Amino acid sequence: MSVVEDTQTLRAGTIGDSPARPDGISKVQGGYAFSSDLSADGCLFGATLRSPYPYARIVSIDQSAAWKISGVEAVITADDVPGQLTYGLISQDQPVFASDVVRYVGEPVAAVAALDPETARRALDAIVVEYDERSPLLDPETAIAEGHELIHPDGNLIRHQRIVHGNPDASGAVVVEGTYEIGMQDQAFLGLEAAIAYPDPGADGVELHLATQWLHEDQGQIAACLGVSDDKVRLVLGGVGGAFGAREDISLQVHTCLLALRLGRPVRMAYSRAESFLGHVHRHPATIWMRHHADAAGTLVNVEARFVFDGGAYASTSSAVLVNGITMAQGPYACPNGQVDGYAVRTNHLPCGAMRGFGAVQACFAYESQMDKLADACGLEPQEIRVRNAMRTGDTLLTGQPVMNVAPVEECIRETAALPLPDEPVGGAPLGDGSPNVMKLPGGAGRTADTRDIVRGIGWGVSIKNLMYSETFDDYSTARCRLTDGVVTLKFATAEVGQGFITIAGQIARTVLGVDEVVLDQIDTGVGSAGSTSASRQTWMSGGAVDAACRAARERLFEAVGRSYGIEPVRFMIDGTDVIDTAGDLRIPVSEASAGLEIEETVEYHHPETEDLDELGQGNCHTAFAFVAHRAVVDVDPELGLVKVIQIATAQDVGNALNPLSVVGQIEGGIAQGLGLAVMEEIIQIDGVIRNGNFTDYLLPTFLDMPPVLTTLIEQPDPHAPLGAKGVGEPPCISSTPAVVAAIRDALRQAGIEKPLNRVPVRPADICL
């Protein structure tokens, strides 16, 4: 019932190879079991009643009509929560069920369990909730201002953080400024939220199978709300159809467990797509003002900025997203001075939290738009201004933190520039009959664009992304390695959400221990925490834990072989699949050397300590950094406002590519999300009500929208990383967005049209009006 059925043998391959994913074929063929496919005999079906208002006082809840419906087994509200009434990742500020006030459209008010899904839906319709509707707080600037009604007991301001570095009053011969807006983006994962809970009445506990990003964090929050110890809640990872940050926060976990414990029967809950839009956090919409100062040659002197992030109704990870955004304000460029003001606030919009890029996406759209303005003002090409200011290893952030990781920013830019531009003309090569290939035109099969009206533009984007957690978070990952008769069994709680870690884990074990067969044990809370599958951290952290556990087992193996042959263990090494004596002729297969042994090692791998920012935003708050450059080629019909992305080229700093094929896959997937934010994806809320909570009106890039992606991997192993590898999942979606928008601006400029395009996604009306 989980992503691996108890155990699973992983495919062959060592570090540097590209073995196929063990779940790849079943996913392509449609046979993969996502969490929404879970079922059990005698299972009941749960459903959630949600608020229709963005802000209202709950006057009363009448359940009586729901109880009269045949097949309804349970109705629960806040009064039925036995433990802590609220939960949350950083601040426990979000109710399991709203009891006095609802703060966003979709907030849970009650849950039901019934014999079938239709009866559960009828029960929800029968519950009568009387609301006293109030005027919602929807403007983040109003939330910052003092004197407005507090929509939450913890206040409207989640966090305010300043950064002051060097001489904040420094000025230069060239000054450019602008205000930029980023819309709310949905993670749009394939597999919807779903879980099934199995009660264990004798032990007063529960086992939950679900799709999540962080098993142990969920376990702790669930246990607190249930009023039991953590060991009473066992979590097993179900099949995850993507995550991108949306599964870090609790959604249906507590509701499912409460119903199962109340009834003593398995309970299954699963969201529809429309409910999923309401049930998980999204990318923060943001408004960013920036002013850049440079000397006459285009060298940065000072960066000033003001960030406002709309966190929606509850805090989630807003404070951390804010820190990521403001500390990346200078971009991947050296700058001696800066002053940044950042705010994360509560409003009555949908809650926002983690999404791929985590604050760096918003910052990058602003600073890269500024770099293009600076290039124009200095009479430089976009590529040249970026190379001139490129950060290098040892340069400092505006927080005063030196970037001690490999920082090949200039290499990323130059290698991207070296990739060939598309050689096909506007509209692509004609079809066999000489007619244009309309699918290569902006607008596609609608045949609304004509090649004579289309202009091609080129744009650049370069970015920096912090890796792993920041600000004194005690980040660690746990892995267990068992070696028996030449077979390695790995155990960890690392959530496999589609990024391919289970493949890399097998490669690490084969490389370290020289075994043929690696088995993956069930991914659950039966081992120490692996942290969240987020923040580009699992390759570094859980990869480091698997590597360390396998190395510890190898040392035990060498000790055992040494005792048998009277040889010092220090003389042994793994060569292929053999243990060899480097100072003699002994060579024996690992399977023979480990025969009869039962070696098991469990290791916690911790990352270096970080610091909190002080009141002026100074401190070594981040662990590591990665860099990437993007160049986009876009065809634009200026009159109709239509766009077709023709090509994206990229060179990315990946450290050591453990699985090159997987790395390229992550890069292409991230670019798709960056393209979506550039020209398509935005959750529209009017008066706090979502208007496009479906995949008909919330537009996503399709196969026809994705251009060819040319990729160069910049492999400079990072000496600080346990395997020399950097996380690769987030950087692709960060600077691909401003690259596409810059290309649209360039195309319009060639057509004699000046448009700032200071907001994403860029809509047709932004181009043609």
Longest dimension (CA), the chain: 84
- Per CATH, the number for 286-469+613-768 is 3.30.365.10
d(CA 299, CA 391): 12
Indicate the residue type of 534: S
d(CA 413, CA 657): 19
Q: At which residue do the structure tokens 């879970």 appear?
A: 38
Beta strand ranges found along 190-241 (DSSP E): 194-200, 205-210, 233-237
Q: Which of 258, 244, 262 is nearest to 195 (CA)?
A: 258
Which DSSP string corresponds to 146-193?
TTSPPSSTT-SEEEEEEEEES-TT---SEEEEEEEEE-------SSPP
Joined tokens for residue 329:
């304000």
Q: φ, ψ for residue 729 (rounded to 5)?
A: -75, -30
The CA–CA distances, whole Å, from 234 to 265, 470, 493, 585, 610 equal 16, 28, 12, 49, 31
Average pLDDT score over the chain: 96
Domains 35-135+205-240+247-270 and 286-469+613-768 alike in fold: no
Please tell us whether the domain made up of 4-32+475-605 is placed in CATH 3.20.20.120. no
CB distance 102 to 109 below 8 Å: yes
Domain layout of the chain by residue ranges: 4-32+475-605, 35-135+205-240+247-270, 286-469+613-768
| Tens-digit pLDDT profile for residues 674-710 | 999 999 999 999 999 999 999 999 999 999 999 999 9
Within 379-483, where are the H helices? Answer: 382-389, 409-418
Q: Residue 159 pLDDT more than 60?
A: yes
CB distance 640 to 455 below 8 Å: no
Q: What pLDDT score does 173 carry? A: 97
The CA–CA distances, whole Å, from 723 to 409, 507, 658 equal 21, 12, 8
Q: Residue 1 pLDDT more than 80?
A: no
| Tens-digit pLDDT profile for residues 461-509 | 999 999 999 999 989 999 999 999 999 999 999 999 999 999 999 999 9
Q: Residue 2 pLDDT more than 60?
A: no
Lowest mean pLDDT among 21-25, 387-391, 576-580, 608-612: 21-25
Within 33-94, where are the H helices? Answer: 64-67
Residue 378: band (very low, low, confident or very high) from pLDDT cuts 50, 70, 90: very high
d(CA 130, CA 121): 19
Residues in the chain: 769
Q: Residue 393 pLDDT more than 70?
A: yes
Which DSSP string corresponds to 237-273?
E------TTTTSS-SSHHHHHHHHHHHTS-EEEE--H
- Per CATH, the number for 35-135+205-240+247-270 is 3.90.1170.50
Which DSSP string corresponds to 271-315?
--HHHHHHHS-BPPPEEEEEEEEE-TT--EEEEEEEEEEE-TTS-
**Burial label, 608 (beta-carbon count in 10 A; 0-12, 13-18, 19+):** exposed
Q: What pLDDT score does 180 carry? A: 98
Q: Mapping DSSP to helix (H, G, I), strand (E, B) and coil, where does residue 444 land? A: helix
| Tens-digit pLDDT profile for residues 300-319 | 999 999 999 999 999 999 99
